[in-house]
Amino acid sequence: MTQINKFIREKLDAKSLRLLEAVNNPSLHAFIEDAVRLTEPDTIRVFSDSAEDIALIRQMALNGGGEHPLKTPGHTYHFDGPNDQGRDTFSTRYLLPKDMELGASLNSIDRTEGLEEVRGFLKGSMKGKTMLICFWCLCPTNSDFSISCVQITDSPYVAHSESILYRPGYEQFKKLPPDGEFFRFLHSEGETDENGCSIHWQKRRVYIDLIADTVYSVNTQYAGNTVGLKKLALRLAIQKASKEGWLAEHMFIMGVRGPRNRTTYFVGAFPSACGKTSTAMLPGQTIIGDDIAYFRKRNGRMYCANVEQGIFGIICDVNPDDDPVIYKALVTPGEVIFGNVLIADGKPYWEGMGCEIPERGINFQGEWYKGKKDAEGKEIPPSHKNARYTIRLSALDNLDPQADNPEGVPIGAVIYGGRDSDTLVPIEQAFNWTEGIITKGASIESETTAATLGQAGVRKFNIMANQDFVSIPLGRYIQNNLDFADGVSNPPPIFSVNYFLRDEKNEFLTGKLDKMVWLLWAERRAHNELDAIKTPTGWIPRYEDLVPLFREKLGKTYTKEAYQKQFTIRVDKLIEKFDRVEKIYRDKVPDTPQIVYDTFENVRQRLRAARRQYGPFISPFDLTA
């Protein structure tokens, strides 16, 4: 039994003391002692995996810890302050020693300087408060995917959110050897106002110490900055995976239903607002995870597991027509946290929910009424555009039965998506793993919308839809993905999808549910059950294979005219795309592997040859003639 420092022992109740003493890991106890001396809490509470302890976390959140009950049993709401409504990309930085370089595209600060700054903000931040020490696990427990984590926070709301999003990890932590590695997170909301929101948001800092596998977060409550096991842990995991030969990706995992009750597991990466959630939640399919996946190799096959057991999702436009499964979970009694929505008469409301929104209530900025304006004269919406919900995946009717399998699930196909109005066809299969990683994943571009930057159609490069979270040089990240196929007897096929192709009238060429057909076609291709048409950049569907899928799955008549418009090869636009992406690599990624440039050139040569034969627009029917 570990001997606990007297300084800490005096702040623990008997149960918490027993729990800490049962963990034989000197690094953990050193981390806790340092955190206690730094933040100076009045008391310390340690939590185990028991249902009793998980329930206590929720009760603390409701008892002045950042949450309030709603009329529906189990539902609560939380408000972040008006200036704490999203991930703070400016203040989220890597702490790097002077001899460590990640590349100019990654936000960093000198480690010594950054530690001094963030620890200065954390100093005494928990005076008068209770420090909560929670143990969670990334991925299923007792698995080669598992990563043990400890979260120290003074926010019951943060702890409650993590109890929904992550698997309990105390018992697994106890099994770690004395020198066992783990991720550590220290958070303080800092001083709060009468609404329980962080006051000193200008001193908000989210610093990631890659040397010590530690994340520091202070003067913030928004979950993307404070629930450290989410995107902050992804940054730690990418670094760890790079050293150990596996992958940590910003991807969903879903089960696509094929013929004869077959389930093929797809992983998919999409930038924001490109259809990631709507793909993962397609009717009739199953979901394992919606956000982050770890990849491992076993016996010549690739496997993946969902890092989380819950969803921290954007609630705007979730309604019974477009998102029936999620909507049902959000209106059914059970554990749900609503964040930054409108509250009226004990009920949550958000924009796009499919019903009339009350004209008065309270939201993230206080009392609200229709037409209310902020200090700059802009009308305040009833709910924030980044308003969120937090639920367990087990609340969803379409949860896959293998979601918690410690072995993970075999990867049957990989898809990469983006928002593109004039270049890529709705779905295309890469010729092989290498071309898939380079021309589909490492070449993702996404057009902005007017709502995001005020100017529509600006293409933003986003490598593997993981640009914001990569914690290693981008060239190495690409090489790691390429090398992951080594030793795999039959690497899964890689597809690109694009749901946003438009015609000359600027109208979408595909319907909202057409993506169902694209994925069902890809599922059959993954099992070599359908032929395909060879283009300069990959394989596309044959018209005769899509017609029955549209008829049987969507009840639609699929015309040759629609097919031709969707799957015409736009040669000049494709050449422009690869020129554009290559320039980014040459200008900003000095360690780009040569095979990336060679692949781009091979693709361009194929496109030029096709243009000489067919012209700048190639009908898919010409390629089958």
Classify residue 565 as left (phi > 0), alpha (psi -120 to 50) or beta.
Answer: alpha
| pLDDT for 228 | 93
Residue-wise pLDDT tens digits, 398-451: 999 999 999 999 999 999 999 999 999 999 999 999 999 999 999 999 987 543
Residue range of the domain that includes 362: 311-395
**Judgement on whether residues 584 and 545 belong to the same structural domain of the protein:** yes
Q: Which residue blocks in 40-145 are alpha helix, DSSP H?
A: 51-62, 111-122
Evaluate if residue 99 carries a pLDDT over 80.
no
CA separation for the pair 133, 143 (Å, rounded): 23
**Judgement on whether residues 175 and 189 belong to the same structural domain of the protein:** yes
Residue of 416 and 512 predicted with greater confidence: 416
**Judgement on whether residues 553 and 570 belong to the same structural domain of the protein:** yes
Helices and strands in the chain, H and E counts: 19, 34
Active-site pick, 139, 274, 304, 316: 274
**Judgement on whether residues 428 and 373 belong to the same structural domain of the protein:** no
Residue 254 pairs in a beta bridge with 266, 287
CB atoms within 10 A of CB 499: 23
**Averaged pLDDT, 163-176:** 97
**Judgement on whether residues 204 and 328 belong to the same structural domain of the protein:** no
Residue-wise pLDDT tens digits, 148-161: 999 999 999 999 99
With respect to residue 303, please indicate whether it lies within any of the assigned structural domains.
Answer: yes
| pLDDT for 145 | 97
Classify residue 358 as left (phi > 0), alpha (psi -120 to 50) or beta.
Answer: beta
CA separation for the pair 140, 185 (Å, rounded): 19
CATH number at residue 353: 2.170.8.10
With respect to residue 20, please indicate whether it lies within any of the assigned structural domains.
Answer: yes
CA separation for the pair 81, 195 (Å, rounded): 8
| pLDDT for 6 | 87
**Judgement on whether residues 338 and 445 belong to the same structural domain of the protein:** no
Evaluate if residue 548 carries a pLDDT over 60.
yes
**Judgement on whether residues 302 and 315 belong to the same structural domain of the protein:** no
CA separation for the pair 341, 338 (Å, rounded): 7
Is the full-model pTM beyond 0.85? yes
**Judgement on whether residues 385 and 533 belong to the same structural domain of the protein:** no
**Judgement on whether residues 48 and 30 belong to the same structural domain of the protein:** yes
With respect to residue 82, please indicate whether it lies within any of the assigned structural domains.
Answer: no
With respect to residue 238, please indicate whether it lies within any of the assigned structural domains.
Answer: no
Residue-wise pLDDT tens digits, 59-70: 999 999 999 999
**Judgement on whether residues 429 and 341 belong to the same structural domain of the protein:** no
Q: Which amino acid is residue 13, in one-letter code?
A: D
CA separation for the pair 527, 378 (Å, rounded): 54
Q: How many domains does the chain have?
A: 3
Q: Which amino acid is residue 124, in one-letter code?
A: G
Domain boundary among 230, 264, 297: 230
Among residues of the chain, what percentage have pLDDT more than 90?
87
With respect to residue 546, please indicate whether it lies within any of the assigned structural domains.
Answer: yes
CA separation for the pair 245, 508 (Å, rounded): 41
Q: Which amino acid is residue 243, in one-letter code?
A: K
**Judgement on whether residues 373 and 519 belong to the same structural domain of the protein:** no
Task: State the chain's maximal CA–CA distance in angstroms.
Answer: 82
> Mean pLDDT in the chain?
94
**Judgement on whether residues 373 and 252 belong to the same structural domain of the protein:** no
- Sort 140 into a burial class: Cβ within 10 Å, 0-12 / 13-18 / 19+: buried
Residue-wise pLDDT tens digits, 448-484: 754 333 455 688 999 999 988 999 999 999 999 999 9
| pLDDT for 90 | 83
Q: Which amino acid is residue 552, in one-letter code?
A: E
| pLDDT for 452 | 39
CA separation for the pair 512, 527 (Å, rounded): 26
Question: Please, what is the angle between helix 231-244 and helix 474-483, to 10°?
Answer: 60
For residue 446, which phi and psi values (nearest 5 degrees)? Answer: -135, 125
**Secondary structure (3-state) at 283:** coil
Domain boundary among 347, 364, 395: 395
With respect to residue 73, please indicate whether it lies within any of the assigned structural domains.
Answer: no
pLDDT tier for residue 537 given thresholds of 50, 70 and 90: very high
State yes or no: is 274 an active-site residue: yes
Name the residue among 333, 334, 375, 340 with its Cα closest to residue 361: 340
CATH number at residue 116: 3.40.449.10
